Structure 1
Amino acid sequence: MKKTKYLILALSTFALLYNSGCQKQLDIKPQNAVESSVALKTSKDVEGVLIGAYTAAALRGLYGGRFQSTTDFLADDGDFAYFGTFSDYTELNNKAITINNGFVEGVWNTGYNAIGVCNTVLANLNLVDPVKKARVEGEAKFLRGMIYFDLARVFGKAWNDGAPASNLAVPIVLTPTTAIADIQNVKRNTVAEVYAQAIADLQVAETNLTTDKSTYASSGAASAILARIYLTQEKYDLAEAEATKIIGSGTYSLVEHFSDEFQVKEQATRVFNTSEDIFAIQISNQSGYNALNEVYASSAFAGREETYLFGQFFDRFEAGDDRVNEVTDDSFTSKFNNAFGNVVVIRLAEIYLIRAEARIFKSSPDLAGAAADINVVRKRALLDNTTAATAAELLDAVKYERHAELTFEGFQLFDLKRYKGTTYSVDGDGNHLDAFPWNSPKLIFPIPKRERDANPQLTQNEGYQ
């Protein structure tokens, strides 16, 4: 896999720097790998690799924006259309992905590259200072668990589509590959197996990490991803419990105005997490890349000005909803107008909506509690309290709030599948063309051709060659 190349190169570079600084004579030996015992000697070394895991996960191919944008493009049913030069986005928007799609391949490669770095950290925990060991393990397992969950969601069938115990997702790799001889042609694990691994990792992270607010992984961030997973699995009592941990902690609070969450300044500049952010990719003018700014923003804000909003997008909003104001000149979303704004992966508004949905469907429904959670989000949007009272009405209210609140943030595909909806390809005027039900094979990423060429054990998804 391509991830192996990245890891070997990273360890080789680390070892070269380490050895050149500690040896008076350069001893060059032909080799195709560097053992981690050579590259990693101290706790500081392992902690440095952990920072590398965050950097790997933050690349544009994954949480730097393209995981979010690729899934939203695939699910879109006419809120917007892409008129740009990236054929990869055009394929996604048309629900006609090819096995050579570079952005899909980027999600796979970047995901496994980051997992590989996490595995290197976890394989060397014995080097970590005892007082830091739990934290280092927790942060590495948070990243690995979150990535496995997301890879399973895009390269495998949805949890509610058939049998998770037999549907294939992605391979589970838990040990680092540091030598060419170590490379194995792994098979794809099932959806159920990958979800179980993600939950196991995140439970360790939740236990090991502090509840304090941080730009790094925290116990609250682990709880948030667990809440997402449990909601996906329809384990509503567990989803509610995880969401309540976060809300009840008092660590996070909604910003006063919806637009404040996205911190668009007059000039692009580094910003810091808001009180609402639970986990965000940190971007600055010196590091990181905000791929959401690239694809969604107008040229006035450093974007490519290639993704245009249609009337359908505006028509979805209730009168007076402040969130519809997150557009500029009726053409582009302005959520990501700061080229150096952080890419928020988890924020508190989502957690309220997760808990609202869980309260509707849990074993002992709490409809009043669900309405209260919905109203917290609506109040910030300058809307009156919901009039929904029945379970069906409240679910419709949750659906509305998730679209109005979280649009363009990478939720549309997964909401479409959880709610068993239908999406459409559209023409240049936004008119619906072909229909794609939630369980269409076209709404699942293909296993990249490059990966299957390198590893014949990787079977292809339905509908792809």
Structure 2
Amino acid sequence: MDDVKQTDVIDADKAYQSVSDLLKGTYGVYATLSNNTRMYYGSVLADEVKLSDENRGQGQGEYKWQFTATGVSFGFGQYFQTIDRLHRVLEVADNIPAANATEENTKKRIKAELLAIRGVAYLELLTVFMPQGYQPDSLGVPLVLSSALLGKPARSKVSEVMTRIEADLASGRAEALIPSAPTDPLRLSQGAIAAYQARAALLKRDWAKAAAYADEAIALSGKSLSRATYTAYFSDANESETIFKYRNGAAPQLNWRDANGDVFFEPADKVKNLFDRTNDIRFSTFFGADGGDTSIIIKYPGSERGPQTNDLKLIRLAEMYLIKAEASAEGENLTAAADAINALRAARITGYTNVTFADKATAINQILVERAKELCFEGFRFFDLKRRGLAVNRNPSDSRNTNWQDLPANSFRFALPIPQSEIFANPNVRQNAGYN
């Protein structure tokens, strides 16, 4: 007997019947790219925050490194949803007729964007779930290249996933219909894709490519570092340094505090002590509240769309200067490294005097400190320590208990667990060591 098709099932050939439908599907892919989860874990697992006296248990398991594979997802399902959604669009795109040359160009751009987004999604997954440092032959994540909800792929090697990331991002860069500058920062531009290429090269420790891609991202962005617009920038009042962003309908401040004002996490003393509190505009932009209480994180203070609602800056110009600095220093080009750091600091610190780096070790140390300052509470710190093979070391005033003051560099905790629900659904996926 022939299979009876359920009446409530919408096949792809019905869901996508026009180029306009393809574009809507593409927007649905973009809707999955929030980095709010990474922002949270990148801070809580690292040395950026400390427990508040008002914390009622929120995030304490993660803060104390007591998380398990059954308790948190760390974005695993999110980015595989991204990948499945984009495959559903890609698999029908060639069968959708274009009414004219404009629609044909729209299709070409969509396909290139979606391949680049796949590269972005796999880069996010690899960053979270691979081991500390860059170990090419260790386990990465499953590579899925089509929509296959019942598929059971095993985890691919880190090097294999990186090869896919590089190829997908290169496909996006190869399509001239993707604009160079982020005229619409809610969609990928050539500058944004170059920025992700820089991130991937930095993770891979391909220093020459990381520096070159960072340079390309800076040039293509059409943006410049600005002190004058900086505070308002985090209130979404301008796009002065945005290369790519996510239109957020939620409240990133709720990572750190309740809607009623209760504070779950305060900024760590270790982070606040890095800043020149008088001359560095970042200190008053990141910390404070009415009455000058610097125990509150205010980096995302809200916008005209709501008191706690902000767009999430997925790629900022400042990060590219920091990648250029780190990659240049690793490549023994200390002049280029100093130039990049000086440009960033001069746009943040009143009366700043340029520095030079006498040696590579000094340069790397200062660059990592600058990353800790500029990118705090944006999801980088834990993963910066992870890729550099460094420990998490909290100040005693930030940890309360020596049991959660230090996470050794060789801890299995740096490779976050594959959610146990995924292991149950796909027995071919091996769990990261330490969580079985």
TM-score by length of 1: 0.81
Q: 1:353 — aligned with what?
A: 322
**8 Å Cα contact 2:229-2:240 kept in structure 1:** no
Matches within 5 A, 1:437-452: 437-452=408-423
Could you say which residue in structure 2 is the equivalent of 1:146? Answer: 120
**CA distance, structure 2, for counterparts of residue 86 and residue 199 of structure 1:** 40
Partners of 1:69 and 1:119 in 2: CA distance: 28
* C-alpha distance after superposition, 1:154-205 (max 9, x if no partner): 1121342xx322x11211111123xxxx611221111111111111111111
What is the deviation of 1:443?
A: 1.9
Distance in 1 separating the partners of 2:237 and 2:24? 22
CA distance in 2, matches of 1:154, 1:348: 23
Partner of 2:256: 296
Superposed displacement of residue 445, structure 1? 1.4
**1:211 aligned residue:** 180
In 2 relative to 1, CA 30–418 (structure 1 residues): closer, same or farther, beyond 3 Å? closer
Cα deviation 1:81-117 (Å, max 9, x = unaligned)? 3653465x2221111111122353xx11111111111
> Where in structure 1 are there 5+ consecutive unaligned residues?
1-27, 265-270
Deviation at residue 274 of structure 1 after TM alignment = 1.1
SS in structure 2 at match of 1:279: strand
8 Å contact kept, 2:73–2:418? no
Q: Which residue of 2 aligns with 1:157?
A: 131
Asked whether the 8 Å contact 1:221–1:278 carries over to 2, the reply is yes
Alignment of 1:31-430 (within 5 A): 33-58=9-34, 63=35, 65-76=36-47, 79-81=49-51, 84-85=55-56, 87=58, 89-104=59-74, 107-126=75-94, 127=96, 129-160=103-134, 163-165=135-137, 167-177=138-148, 183-208=150-175, 209-213=178-182, 214-215=184-185, 216-249=187-220, 251-257=222-228, 259-260=230-231, 262-264=233-235, 271=236, 274-283=239-248, 288-290=249-251, 292-296=252-256, 305-318=263-276, 320-325=279-284, 326-328=286-288, 329-338=293-302, 339-362=308-331, 365-382=332-349, 383-424=352-393, 430=399
Q: Runs of 5+ in structure 2 lacking a partner?
A: 303-307
CA gap of 1:236–1:333, structure 2 versus 1, over 3 A, is same
> How many angstroms does 1:313 deviate by?
2.5
How much has 1:210 moved relative to structure 2?
1.4
Which of the pair is proportionally richer in helix?
1
What is the aligned residue count?
A: 407
| Deviation for aligned residue 1:431 | 4.2
Q: In the TM superposition, what is the alpha-carbon distance from 1:460 to its structure 2 partner?
A: 1.0
1:125 Cα deviation (Å)? Answer: 2.4
Q: What TM-score results when the alignment is normalised by the length of structure 2? A: 0.86
Contact 2:250 2:310 in 1 (8 A): no
Give % identity.
Answer: 27
Which residue does the alignment assign to 2:305? none
- Tell me the distance in 2 between the aligned counterparts of 1:75 and 1:95: 10
Task: Work out the CA distance in 2 between the residues paired with 1:275 and 1:258.
Answer: 7
Provide closer, same or farther for how the CA distance between residues 57 and 125 of structure 1 changes in structure 2, counting only shifts above 3 A.
same
Contact 1:258 1:323 in 2 (8 A): no
Per-residue displacement from partner, 1:315-374 (whole Å, max 9, x unpaired)?
222463332222111211110111222110110111011111111122xx3211211110
Over 3 Å counting, the alpha-carbon distance change for 1:317 and 1:426 in structure 2 is: closer
- Does structure 1 retain, via aligned residues, the 8 Å contact 2:246–2:314? yes
Deviation digits for residues 285-324 of structure 1, max 9, x if unmatched?
Answer: xxx223x22113575xx76521112432222224633322
Distance 1:92 1:395, change over 3 A: same
